[in-house]
Every structure is written in structure tokens, then in C-alpha cells.
Structure 1
Amino acid sequence: MSKKLHQALMLYLTLGVLVAMTSTSWAAQATVPSYELGEIVVSAESNETEKVATLYTLDAKNLKDRGVRTLEDALVLVPGVYVRYGADGVPRIDIRGFRTRHVLFLLNGIPLNSTYDGQFDPRTVPVEIIEQIKVTTGGGSVLYGSGGNGGIINIITKQGQPGLHGSIVAEIGQEDSALGRLSLVGGTEKVHAFASVGRIDRDGTPLSNHFSPTKAEDGDERDNSDFEQTNVFTNLDVQVTDKTLVGLTFNYQEGEYGKPAVTNYDKNDPFTKKEKFLRVDDSEGMSSQLAFSHKATDRFTVRGWGFYNELELEENRYDDNTYSSQAKKGAYESNSTTRTTGGAIQLNADLQDAGGLSLAVSTQNDDWEDKGFEVDKNNVAVNYKNNEDVDQYNVALEYEVALGGKAGMVAGMGYHVQDRSSGGDEDAYSYLIGFHFDPVVGTRLKINHARKVRFPSIKQLYDIDSGNEDLDAEHTMHYELGVEQALPGKTLFSLTGFINDAKDFIEKDEVTEINKNADEYMFHGFEVALENEAIDDLLLRLSYSYLESEDRSSDSDIHQLQNRPRDRVTFESVYDTPWNMTAQASVQYVANQYSYDDDANQRRTPAFTLVDVKLTQKLLEEALELYVGVNNLFDEDYEQSYGFPQPGRYVYGGVEYHF
């Protein structure tokens, strides 16, 4: 998309404003219907699968109250979820110690994990299209297939509704940041449409005033931290007959961004990394899905969808911080394309009092292509070209049933196959069994156990330097026990303990630097949360997550795994005043995480506390909203990875109009 089109979009949004002038404890009332055609669902109306699992649901209102502008912002307060920014500057979403590549990331059922390394960039999903975020951190449905060893993040977008409605948002912030969004919702009795276009343009992120300048970073604005992105999204669903619903989803994104370099490189400091001057100078992607649901009889429903997801990246490594030369050893240009194509059929049988039975069959092709050049040790640019792909097949059967109105159970099994372009194929199985018991109103006890599998990524199989075509699938044994209790004073309490035994983990051999299945990790801990609404119009949420992450590999010299904090405390309050103002504040405290050098020496990362606030004033019978917010209110100078300082205080304000 051209710069002129970018400018036209921003101008259009600005003119529009001027002319217009979890688990259940985390769920809120939705104001816009959800587009659920592409979502994995179970057959029983009681939905026992979600009752036995640890599921946090965030909706559009919650995101709006908190001033969330990107998906990673939405997830920072979820128990068990840790949002971190590492050496590549891209936000990573870890769940209970598992890395981003172990989290299954879905948009209306479309997998958005990279076919190359299995990771994902949450910034590619614009927050304005989200109606619900479902985060499963424990044992989840086997109907999702393979890949969710760490958890599942399922983004459910907004859906059209009869009439014509919309909203326009314009926002400005520090470092010449600007944000614009336009959303339209419309439809008739049988046809519903939702469309959105948005633009984020940021010259960089501010560093804390407490940051001590170094030779590589003089403070003020973080070098090479700019970010630009344009998103266009639409979905359409048509009620073809009383029993048949058909839907189409399309998402397009384009942009570019910098990857800030380390600020404290010192060859005498074993914990620092050498500077890398990296940029994604062009990012362009699209995803689409065609889905249907047909109610064959009163008891049987057939659902299916086909999808295509593509992302093109031009990444460059430069010689120095001028980002203009690629003539020395290590410099490169990479033009990569990842493509995911697949489809699924799901049969749901409602057995009424006997429960529900679901059968899911899916297939998926992951393709990766990369071409460019790399400068060798003789300072000569050498061209290269790679192309690899793998196929995956999944079949799963899941049964759930409510037992006497006070209990319920779910049991499921899946079989998964990875068909590789070279090397041996791999197959594996998964299962889930869970039970909940509600002895009295307001009390729920739950327990679940699951076996999950994840196949190696194309990078782990075929990377020129570290690939191993003989890798086995990673598998994880999950054990979880929890209680939810309603307390006096409109208070809800929840406590969940978990053990995740991860075997055949894929990591590089320290000597050969070749990927192998030699690692065994153990993640165990608990999460406790309180929610209180004793005072009218005031919502209070408090959570504490405790995580022990152990490396139990036979040849390991370390104990606690690096960059996985042991302690996280989050607090959030939302107050709706009598004069139509909403005040929101949140606190996040992170402590006890470590990093290691090549000799397994340990370094503790300093603890940090972040405070965000936002005020929103509704005017003109709530048609117009004015808001102002501050992230990192007290200008904390902190790091999540050694030598990579995070943003300091950031102030923003905007206007939103509904019509």
C-alpha cells in the first residue's frame, strides 16, 4: 500500500471526526454480536469443555475501558500470561512458561502462527475488530488439533447487525504517534456485515527519563523503534436458509517497523549480546476464510471452513546504526513468504440429556519461501533461495455431558500427522479428560488432565545451520486443579494449581548448535484471582501468578529457565462516575526472572512495576467520547531482556464518535 494511500486513510479518518463531531470472572456483557462461524465449538449446550478448563474471556468493552490499542496490551493482565519484548522488538506472548511458538493463535479459526518458526506477531490483529478474546491456559479441547501445548488464544471478531452503525477514532500521543480507526456495522434480517480500517503511525517509543545513556543509545526516543501499520478487515455472513449460514472473513495488513538493537554491548560482559541492526522494511499479509454452518436435524449440525493465510516480510540486517549499508560480514536481505492453507469439517451431535459428541477433521499445509543475499566472511554478497513445506492432518473426537445439574465431564482424543517434504514423517496423539462439580450455588471445583503435542516447525526441521529432519513431536502432560468460589460482598475468588511436564522439547545443542529433542522442562505453579463489585459502578480485579520453571534435562547446568518470571501481580480498577466519566487504572508487578551466559552463570533481572491510567468522558448522550491516558505513569526504567530497555512514560489522548 502506497504512502499516498496511507495519508489518504488518515485524512479520511480525521475528516470523519470533524464532520461527525475470564473464566466467567473476566467476562463482561458484549455490546456487539460475535462472529462465531469460524470458532471451534462443542455440541452440548452446557459447554462442559470450557467449564473444566481455565478460560479467560475479555470483551470489547473491557479492552476499550483499558485504552487497549494493540492485542498484546489486552493480554498483559491475564493470569498466567506474560507479554515480553526480546531482542527482535516483537511482542511475544508466553503462557505458564511456554514460549509463543507453543501457543495456538487463531483469528475466527484461522491459524496465524508463522509457518517458519511457529511464532506470531500480535500486532497484526487490530484491536478495533475484536469482540472477544478467549485465552485457554490449561487443558483445552482436542478439537483444536495440535500445537497448543502452552495454550490457545482465540480472537473472535465483531459481527454485523441490522441497520447502519459505526464509529470513528482519532488519537495522538508522544513521539509523533497517531492512530485512526473507522468501523462500520450494518445489515438486514438475513445479511450482516462488519468492516474496519485502521492506521497506527509511531516514530518511536520514549525511553524513561531515568535511563542512563550509553554509547549505543543516548536516551529520549528509543533508536529504531518506529512502527507503522495499516489494517483493513471485513466479515460478511448470510442466512441462506433457516438452517444454513454462510460467512466470509478477510483481513489485510501492511507496514514496516524497526527492531531496536542492544544498548550495552561490551565484549567483557558475558551477558550482553552483540549489536544487530535490523529492520522489517516491508510487511504485507492477508488472511481469508469461507465458513458455513448447517443444521441437518434438530440434533445434528455440520460446520466447516476453508482458510488461506499469507505473510510477506522484507527483513534487512545492516552494518551500523545508519541503516543504509549492507557490505560487511553478517549483513543480509531476506524476502520471506509464509503461507497456510487448510480446511476443517466438524460434526456436532446433540444427544440432549446424554450430552454431546463432536467429530473434527482438518488438514493444513504450511509453506515457507525465502530468498535474498547474505554477506560472507570475505565481505561478498551471496544469493540464496529456500523453499520448504509440511502438511498436517488432524482428527479428534470429543464427548461432554452434564451430570445431574451439579457436575459435568468431558473426554476427548485426537490423532495428528505431520507429512514432511523430506525426512521421516511423524504422528502423535493427544487427549483430554476433565470434570467439574458444583456442590452448592456459587462453588465450582474442577480438575483436568491433558496430553498435548506440537510438531517441529519448518525452521527447526530445515534451517541451514540448525535444522534436523529427524526431530520428534514435542509432547506435554498437563495436570490442573482449581476452585471458583462466590464470596460475600459481590466477590468472586478463584484458585488454580497446575503442573506441566514437557518432554522432547526442541532446543539447540550447545556444542553442535543442531536442534534436538533432548530437553525436559517442568512448569508448575498456581494462579489466584479476586474480583469485587461491592460498590456500584466500581470493578476491582486482583491476581497473583506464581511459576516455577525447571530445566530437568540430563545435561543441563541451570535450574530456573531464563526470562520466565516467578512472580506476577496484576491489579485493575474501573469506575463509572455519575457524570458519565470512566476512570481506569491498572498495575503490573513482575519479579524474580533470570538470564544466563554461555557458561550457565545466572543474572537476576531487576523487578519492575508498571502503572497505567485512563480517563474517558462521554458527551452528547454517549455519542462522543473524549479520553486521555498515560502508560507507565511513574516512568519506570525497566528491562525484560538484558540490554533492551522498555518504553518510559507515554501520554496519549483522543476522540471517538459513534453514529
Structure 2
Amino acid sequence: MEPSSVLYGPGGAGGVINIITREGDMEANVSGNLEFSENDTMNGSLNLAGSSSNWQGFMSYNHQETDGFPMSSDYEDTDDQSGDTRLNADKTLDNVYAQGSYFASDETKLTGNISYNSAEWGKPSADGTGTNKVKYERIDDFDSLIVQLGVAHKFSPSLVFRGYVYHDESNTLDVSYKKSDYEDIKSSEDSTSTVQGANLQLVKDLFDYGIFTTSLISEQQGWESTSITSGSDTSEQFDKDAWLHTLAAEYQYQSDDLYGITLGLAAHNHEQDQGDDDNYSGQLSGYWNVADNSKVHAGVARKVRFPLLTNLYSQSSGNEDLNPEESAHFELGLKQGLGYQTEFDVTGFYTEADDYIAKDDNSIYQNLGDYKFKGVDLSIKNQYFDNLMLTVSYSYLDSEASDEDDMTELEYRPKHQYRFQGQYQFDIGLKVNLDIEHIADQVFYTSEEISGTTVSVQNDVDNYTLIDLGLSQPIMGDNLEAYIRATNLLDENYYQSEALPQAGRQVFVGINWQL
């Protein structure tokens, strides 16, 4: 959990544009994938990539479709979920993506990317075994467009400007039905969400004294929606917008790969109907190579998460009274080489979150309260044997309410996660992938009336183990590969949320190819 850079706004971690050395010519590469499974499941992709001395580009098309995922054979039918296929779990998705960069000169680089999605899918309801209300909901139409254009210009060996503008727009038709036949509409919301803005940065290389970067971000968020309830002669309309401005600075220093530090500070201004909110974030992180195979890393950060307009005004999950979430983060870790191409990695972390934002039992966004998170992530990786890679990992997470609340720990956050990953490639090219994951100690809450008072009662989620197995075999050198993979191989009947059963065993067969 390394603190993300303050240069990209609250929660930002992407959009980096750098001046890099020109690459050599590369012939166009065409590749793709096609796979099938039960319930008319089909996934496919087509990719095209190429480059020259002053440009590179990539395009892809992806298609997904399924009638739903299979239920475990151990699942017992209910009035709201019967049969071998999860009801209302169908999905169709098409995605087109393209990105490219062009060197207009030795000092100037232009970049751009665009992504378009068109989809519709069902929202599987609670199966009636819990206290959650059974709902019949679908996204009957969804499309989104994301466009980003960027430029980087080197004024001198020590001064670089980089920046980008972006536009993200999504249109969603969210429909709630009266019955499980999904014919009579109970209510609907037709919404448009937009996020657009610019991020401008100046990078000053101080050479032996590090790198200093400043960032100015201005972003507008918009939300328009029309909600209609069956039997009502009126409709509820929203037309809201908000502005988020960020001024940030970051300093990085690295000493001959012996140690390094990063210090960042950012001021934020959030303008919306509920009033302006001035806030700040910051980070301090670093590492120290105490020996050739031993690296210590540490970090502290303060973050703020402002509620999106979707969180505030969505008909199905919005809450206009949300406050920003503020959090403090601490971490300390060690990467240690153990010899025989074995690496040990352990990181401990502690987080305090005020006005934690998440959905409640009714899927409505709430400030659930003040929480403390503490935990440890550790892993051991080994690549000593030829063609064999092994990873064993463990994660511990403890969440605790720091104020008086019936919900003393957060729902569906596993306290223990154990994982084994192995990959072996035979001389004939056959590759075997095995992934085993065990999840233990989760809780959820139900509302119950005790002595005339409604209280939240903590319940335990059953532990479960998932095993995934994959086999792949090259057929025509590097040009064609056939594979078969199984998820949830043991057909475990398990839940990750109350009354929402997950997929049983799924087997996929497919091919990867390239020209």
C-alpha cells in the first residue's frame, strides 16, 4: 500500500506523461483471443500494435457475453434462485480502445487515448436466504466514452512541461422491476455522469539534488438524471455539477540507489451545492537498501476522498448528506533476498479513516463512521528451479470501529487470506498454472429487534477455498496457443455478501493467436 502521488489529485495514480528516448521500428503485430464456456459464454479480443522511429500505437476490440454464471452443485434452490444458472446474471459488453504517441520533435511528444464501452447487464438479487430485500434490477443500457490528450515538452535538460486534458462521460439506464420476469417497470433512472478537466505539471530536474514537480489540476464533475416511479405522474430530475481544484508539489531524491525519499503536499478545493470544502493531502515515503539483498521501505500519508456526484444523487444508492472521507496511513516493509532466487516481502500497515464512505445494508452510500484498519501482507517468491515459479502469500486485516457503534468491524473484509500460486512449463511447451486461495473470518450484520429495540447483530460468513487450474499448449510455435482453464475447480458453494451466492465451477476453453 504505497501512498499514491499527490500530483494527480485525491486518489489519483495515473496519467503520467514522460519524455522518453525514441524507439526503433517495429513491424505491425496482430493478435487476439477467443474463449468459450457454458451458458453461451463467449469472450474475444482483437489487437493491433505497431511503432516507428517517432510514433507508436495500439488498438483493441473486446467482446464479452454470457447468459449468467453456473451455480455450485451444492447450492440448494430457493424461491428466488433456482436452476443451474444464476438468475439475472447475464451480460453483454463491447469495448474499443486506442492509444498512441508521436514525437513532433526531439523535445515534444504528443499522446492520446480513447476508450468506448457499450453494455447491458443484470444485477443478481439476494436469493432470499438473508434479511436483504430481494430486488429485481438491471442496467438496460450503458455506454461510456473516455478521451485523454497529452503533451510533454522539454524546454531544457533540466525543465520539462507535461500536461493532459481529459473527458469521461457515461450514460446509464438503471431500471428496477416489480417481479422476477423483468417485464413491469417499478422505477427507472436515466443518468449522465461527466468528468472533465486538465492537469498541468512543471518538472525541474535538480540533478544531484533530486527532482521537484508542481501540478495544477482543475476538474468539473456533472450529473444529470431523470427518475420515474411507476404510478407517479411526476419525475424527479437532477442537474448538478461540482468543481475540484488541486495545487500540488512533490520532491523526489535518490542517492546512488542506496536510499530515496518522496515528499508531496497538495491543497484541494471542492465546490458543490452543499458548500465549498477546503482540504489537503500529503505523503512522505522512502526506502533504504541496507544491504545488497535487503530493502526497507516506509511511508506515511494523509488522504481525502470527496463523494462523487454519483454517490450523492444516484436514485438507487445516492445520499446527499455525505461528508468527505479523511484518512491517515502508515506503513513499514522489508524486501529480503534469501538466496536460491527466493525473495521475502513483508509490509505492515495502519490506517485511520474518518467518515468512512461505503454502502450500507440497503446499498445506500453512507458515512459509516470512524474506522481503524491494521494488517500485514507477506509473500515468498521462488524461481530457483528452471521453468518453475512459486509464490506463497498471506494477508491479515483487522477493521475496528473507533466510535461507539453496533458494527464494530466492517462487513465482508476477510481477516485472513492465504494464497498459493504455481506455474510450471514442460519441455514440450505445456504450461500449468495453479492458484489456491483460502478466505477466513468474515462477518456481516443483520438488523434484529431485541426487547423492542432494533440492533445490528454480527454474523459469521462461512470460510471457503477456491482453486483455479489452467493448462496451455503452443500449437504453432509462438503464433497459436490453445488452453483450458477452470475457476472454482472444487465447485465451492460460497458467499462474499449476504444472500448473494457466487459462481460455481466454470470451465473455459480458448485460443490465443498472433501474426
Q: TM tier, shorter chain? A: over 0.9
State the TM-score, normalized to the length of structure 2.
Answer: 0.92
Query: Which residue does the alignment assign to 2:306?
Result: 455
Aligned-pair CA distance for 1:504: 3.1
Instruction: Give a deviation string over 1:592-620, Cα, whole Å, max 9, x none.
Output: 11111122111100011111111111122
Residue 482 (1) aligns with residue 333 (2): yes
Structure-2 residue corresponding to 1:588: 437
Q: Closer, same or farther in 2 for the Cα pair 1:398/1:612, shift >3 Å?
A: same
Q: C-alpha offsets along residues 520-572 of structure 1, whole Å, 9 cap, x if unaligned? A: 11000111111100111111111111000001123x12322111111111221
Shift in Å at residue 404 of structure 1?
5.2
Written as runs of structure 1 = structure 2, the 5 A alignment for 1:210-225 is 210-225=74-89
Greater mean alpha carbon deviation, residues 452-461 or residues 183-192: 452-461
Name the larger-Rg structure: 2
Aligned to 2:506: 650
Q: SS where residue 241 of structure 1 aligns?
A: coil
Contact 2:284 2:300 in 1 (8 A): yes
- Alignment root-mean-square deviation, CA: 2.3
Q: Normalised by the size of structure 1, how large is the TM-score?
A: 0.73
Conserved in 1, the CA contact under 8 Å of 2:193 and 2:310?
no
Give the secondary structure class of the aligned counterpart of 1:205.
coil
In 2, Cα distance between the equivalents of 1:342 and 1:501?
30
Q: Quick one: distance in 2 between partners of 1:304 and 1:293?
A: 7
- Correspondent of 1:283 among 124, 131, 142: 142
Answer yes or no: is the 8 Å Cα contact 1:468–1:514 preserved in 2. Answer: no
After superposition, the C-alpha distances for 1:157-184 in whole angstroms (9 at most, x for unaligned) are: xx99632111122211111111121111
Alignment match of 2:203 (pick from 345, 348, 373): 348
Alpha-carbon deviation of 1:508?
8.9
Structure 2 residue 272 is matched with structure 1 residue 413: no
CA distance in 2, matches of 1:173, 1:447: 45
Alpha-carbon separation, structure 1, partners of 2:270 and 2:156: 35
**Are the counterparts in 1 of residues 8 and 199 from structure 2 also a CA contact under 8 Å?**
no
Structure 1 residues 460, 232: CA separation in 2 closer, same or farther (over 3 Å shift)? closer
**Residue of structure 1 aligned with 2:488, choices 605, 626, 632:** 632
Determine which of 173, 176, 184 is the counterpart of 1:317. 176
**Shift in Å at residue 403 of structure 1?**
3.2
Alignment of 1:205 onto 2:69:
yes
User: For residue 629 of structure 1, what is the amino acid of its counterpart?
Assistant: R
Amino acid at match of 2:264: G
**The residue matched to 2:156 in structure 1 has which SS?**
coil
Q: What are the superposed Cα offsets for residues 55-102 of structure 1, whole Å, 9 maximum, x if unpaired?
A: xxxxxxxxxxxxxxxxxxxxxxxxxxxxxxxxxxxxxxxxxxxxxxxx
Q: Is the 8 A contact 1:433 1:450 kept in 2?
A: yes
Alignment of 1:79-478 (within 5 A): 137-147=1-11, 162-265=26-129, 271-326=130-185, 331-375=186-230, 379-380=231-232, 382-403=234-255, 405-420=257-272, 422-461=273-312, 467-468=319-320, 472-478=323-329
- What secondary structure, in the 3-state scheme, does the structure 2 residue paired with 1:212 have? coil
Tell me the number of residue pairs that the alignment of Structure 1 and Structure 2 aligns: 501
- Partner of 1:16 in structure 2? none
Which segments of 5 or more consecutive residues in structure 2 lack a partner in the other structure? 18-22, 448-454
Match of 1:519 in 2: 369
Find the residue that maps to 2:119 and give its secondary structure: strand
Identity fraction in percent: 30
Structure-2 change in CA distance of 1:338 and 1:622 (3 Å): same
Deviation string, structure 1 residues 250-277 (Cα, Å, up to 9, x no partner) = 1111011111111125xxxxx4211100
C-alpha distance in 2 between matches for 1:486 and 1:453: 36
Cα distance in 1 between the residues matched to 2:313 and 2:34: 45
Pairwise mapping of residues 519-598 of structure 1 onto structure 2 (< 5 A)?
A: 519-554=369-404, 556-598=405-447
**What one-letter code is carried by the residue in structure 2 that aligns with 1:568?**
Q
- Residues 442/367 of structure 1: CA separation in 2 closer, same or farther (3 Å cut): same
**Larger CA deviation: 459-468 vs 284-293:** 459-468
Whether the 8 Å contact between 2:311 and 2:319 is mirrored in structure 1 is yes
Q: What secondary structure is seen at the aligned counterpart in 2 of 1:601? A: strand
* Matched AA of 1:526: V
Contact 2:406–2:457, Cα closer than 8 Å, also in 1: no
State the partner residue of 1:499. Answer: 350
Equivalents in 1 of 2:492, 2:436: separation in Å? 12
Q: Is the 8 A contact 1:238 1:246 kept in 2?
A: yes
TM superposition shift of 1:410 = 1.3
In structure 2, give the amino acid aligned to 1:630.
Answer: A
SS across alignment from 1:600: strand
Pick the structure with more helix per residue: 1
Q: 1:170 to 1:514 in 2, by over 3 A?
A: closer
Query: Structure 2: how far apart are the matches of 1:646 and 1:483?
Result: 36
Check the 8 A contact 1:564/1:594 in 2, yes or no.
yes
Deviates more, 1:433-442 or 1:514-523: 514-523
Instruction: Choose between structure 1 and 2 for higher RCO, CA contacts under 8 A separated by at least 6 residues.
Output: 1
Q: Is the 8 A contact 2:397 2:416 kept in 1?
A: yes
In structure 2, the CA distance between the partners of 1:359 and 1:317, relative to structure 1 (3 Å rule), is same
For the residue of structure 1 that corresponds to 2:504, the secondary structure is coil
Q: Which amino acid aligns with 2:382?
A: N
Shift of 1:431: 1.0
Q: How does 1:44-55 map to 2 (within 5 A)?
A: none
* Residue matched to 1:20: none
Structure 2 CA distance for partners of 1:625 and 1:425, relative to 1, 3 Å? same
Indicate how the Cα distance of structure 1 residues 655 and 604 shifts in structure 2: closer, same or farther if over 3 A, else same.
Answer: same
Counterparts of 1:284 and 1:518, CA distance in 2? 31
- The CA distance in 2 between the partners of 1:358 and 1:280, in whole Å, is 42
Query: Alpha carbons of 1:395 and 1:213: their partners in 2 closer, same or farther (altered >3 Å)?
Result: same
Distance verdict in 2 for CA 1:153–1:211, change over 3 Å: farther
Q: Is the 8 A contact 1:426 1:472 kept in 2?
A: no
The reply on whether 1:607 has 2:463 as its aligned counterpart is yes
Kindly tell me: are residues 585 and 153 of structure 1, through their superposed partners in 2, closer, same or farther at Cα, counting changes over 3 Å?
farther
Asked if structure 2 preserves the Cα contact closer than 8 Å seen for 1:403 and 1:409, the reply is no
**Aligned-partner SS, 1:224:** coil
- Cα gap change, 1:457 to 1:168, in 2 (>3 Å): closer
Unaligned runs of at least 5 residues, structure 1: 1-136, 266-270
Question: Following the alignment from structure 1 to structure 2, what is the Cα–Cα distance between the partners of residues 179 and 506?
Answer: 34
CA distance in 2, matches of 1:312, 1:468: 21
| Distance in structure 2 (CA, Å) of the matches to 1:516 and 1:653 | 42
2:24–2:52: 8 Å Cα contact kept in structure 1? Answer: no
- Whole-angstrom CA distance in 1 between matches of 2:366 and 2:497: 25
Cα gap change, 1:207 to 1:506, in 2 (>3 Å): closer
Greater mean deviation of Cα atoms: 556-565 or 625-634: 556-565
Q: 1:206-258 CA distances to partner (integer Å, 9 max, x unpaired)?
A: 00111111111113011111011011111121111011110121111101111
8 A contact 1:160–1:236 mirrored in 2:
no
Q: Distance in 1 between matches of 2:49 and 2:254?
A: 37
Pairwise CA distance, 1:140: 2.1
Structure 1's 649 and 458: CA in aligned 2 closer, same or farther, altered over 3 A? Answer: same
Pair 1:424–1:173, CA change in 2 (3 A): same
